[in-house]
Amino acid sequence: MKLKQLTSAVILATTGMSAAAATYTMTPAPVQDLSFYNFSQSIDNTGAMVVMTQSEYNPPIDLDLLDFTNENFLALFEDPDAVEQGVFSTKDYQTLYSYVLQARSSSSFAQVLANYRSYHTDTVRSDLIPGFDVIKEEFEDYSRSAFTKVRDSFGGDYFVGTANGAFFEVDYTTDDGDDLTYIVNDMPIQPFVQVNGISKVLTPAEDEPLGGYGEAFAINSQLQVAGYSSAAFTDTYIDAAENCEDDETRGSTPIELCRYNLIASESTLLSAGYRRATIWNLDSQGNVVNTTAYGMVFTPEETSNLLSYYSKAFDINDNGVAVGESSTGETVIYTLPGSNAGRYSVIVATAFVDGEVVELLPRDENLKSTATAINNDDWVVGNVLRESNGVAREQMFIYNVESGEAIYPDGFFATAAVNPRAINNNGIIVGEGEYDSSVQTDRQLRAFMYDINVGEFIDLNTLLTCEQQAQYTLVTANDINDNNEIVANAMYKSPQVYITGEEVLTDSGDTNDITRVIAVKLSPTGVNDIEQCDSDEDENYERKGASLPLYGLLVLGVLAIFRRKFR
């Protein structure tokens, strides 16, 4: 049955899901011994999952970069002599790790440890997706200096995402004869694909200074990758890049450091280059065969501030239809929850297909919109921003490219913000939504499922066993494949640990429980009878388990890294 032939009236009149919803069993991704926080990204139809780790345990420390003649530095440790020999107590290891992170924030001489790394997993084993990291001889392992944020996979063989390069040492002697060692890299944030264990940069459509930059969010069965890339740079940035090559202009700065300073900060790149939605066509080895850069839904005047305008593609289906968002050149005033009224750029949900940029929704109905996912029946899901009682909140939309019909389902309650993240070819949408109507800001989140064939908004937590509901809370669902397998993030209480993974004990020998977020897989059980659990919560919510407000997720960096692909 083609979903696009259904009208919204038929969909919403169908029997409620609650009588037919399948139950799920939850399995943590096998990366819990690698990091305290880890996050789900995607799951393809082979069952291959992509997860990301944050601040992995037992990072390698390059002692050669540390000054063991500095008394203030030595005073930080319980046993500085042992530390200098590479023998660490748990507390000294934690102190050393914290010192390295802090030192790097203000110095180009300090070691770099990437915050995020990516893995492809099943429910038993996990394999690193190294991106452009390199093996460092002293560590007998990867340097862990290059981050990878993998967002999607196809067939368990092709993985796409964003990465930077591994950092390396540059020895330099100043005019005064001082010997310095800088730690830099020469690769800005890049869209990439990994095939057969080999990572390849997805280059911009046009040659750019220092290689350009971008991100990849999704890959389809035709090996088309959706994302964005730099389309051009400002004259100021181009001049700065050229000055790095000139010995006289560069002065007493090594050329590698000069180049690094131009690419080190994502904010620096965003203020220097124009971003445009990009589709890369790959061959079976992951080589780029063709690159198409798309414009926006409007053509800016030459005198406009072009840097504030962009387009991005977040997903692409097997028909080659990509969806995302585009600037319009307009601004609008509205009030976000917990904020004062402000003026914001108008962004609209957009399709990119056959060289054309198409705006999807009536602009006058929404303050803002973005399309985040599309399935092979050309059903698109995303967010619109609409005002209710003077406050603007995100609402889910479902739109069919062929018929032009649009549906705007409510979340857990009428004014709840909803963030859909994926839709499969069975017409099932997953994501997260606010569920606590008793407050106006920092509302707690729950993972949801919405079947457009049925039209009911379901808390995924209620489809777990009572035992799992008592221990875990699903706060977001990031992807769903055509087997209805889901990857999500679950929250629960767990003892605080050191960077070694060992539990932190108080003076009395007790542990200190804190909220932990982990990647999990939800597998359908084939049983449609939902287990009825006792709950002490308010009947208005009918949910149980620990919860985390939106600001808590933002602190952990969860939402910031999940604007990714969708099926």
Confidence (pLDDT) at 46 = 97
Count of CB atoms within 10 A of residue 389's CB? 7
What mean pLDDT do residues 310-327 have?
A: 97
Please state the rounded mean pLDDT for residues 467-495: 96
Dist CA 482 CA 317 (whole Å): 13
- 513 pLDDT above the threshold of 80: yes
pLDDT on residue 560: 36
What's the pLDDT tens digit per position in 263-274? 887 777 777 778
Q: What is the pLDDT of residue 22?
A: 67
Q: What is the mean pLDDT of residues 360-381?
A: 97
Residues in the chain: 567
* Span of 192-201, 304-313, 343-352 with lowest mean pLDDT: 304-313
Half-sphere exposure of residue 458, counting CA atoms within 13 Å on the CB side? 25
The residue to which tokens 């005198």 are assigned: 303
The identity of residue 405, as a single letter, is: E
Q: What's the mean per-residue pLDDT of the chain?
A: 88
Q: How confident is the model at residue 536 (pLDDT cuts 50, 70, 90)?
A: low
Percent of the chain with pLDDT over 70: 89
Local confidence band at 496 (pLDDT 50, 70, 90 cut-offs)? very high
Position 265 scores a pLDDT of: 78
Strands, sheet with 214-219, edge to edge from the N-terminal-most edge strand: 214-219, 224-233, 273-282, 288-293
pTM: 0.89
Q: What angle do CA 281, 423, 450 make, to 5 degrees?
A: 175
Mean pLDDT of 255-263: 92
For residue 44 the two structure tokens come to 């393809």
Tens digits of residue pLDDT in 404-447: 999 999 999 988 999 999 999 999 999 999 987 777 777 899 99
- Residue 6: the pLDDT is 40
Residue 84 predicted with pLDDT over 90: yes
User: What would the pLDDT profile of 141-169 be if each residue is shown by its tens digit?
Assistant: 999 999 999 999 999 999 999 999 999 99
Mean pLDDT score, 189-201: 96
pLDDT confidence of residue 338: 87
User: Tens digits of per-residue pLDDT, 12-58?
Assistant: 333 333 434 569 999 999 999 999 999 999 999 999 999 999 999 99
Specify the pLDDT at position 548.
41
Q: For the chain, which residues make up each domain, given as ranges? A: 8-30+428-553+563-567, 63-110
How far is 42 from 477, CA to CA, in rounded Å? Answer: 10
pLDDT confidence of residue 271: 75
Question: Which segment of 76-80, 89-93, 216-220, 536-540 scores lowest on mean pLDDT?
Answer: 536-540
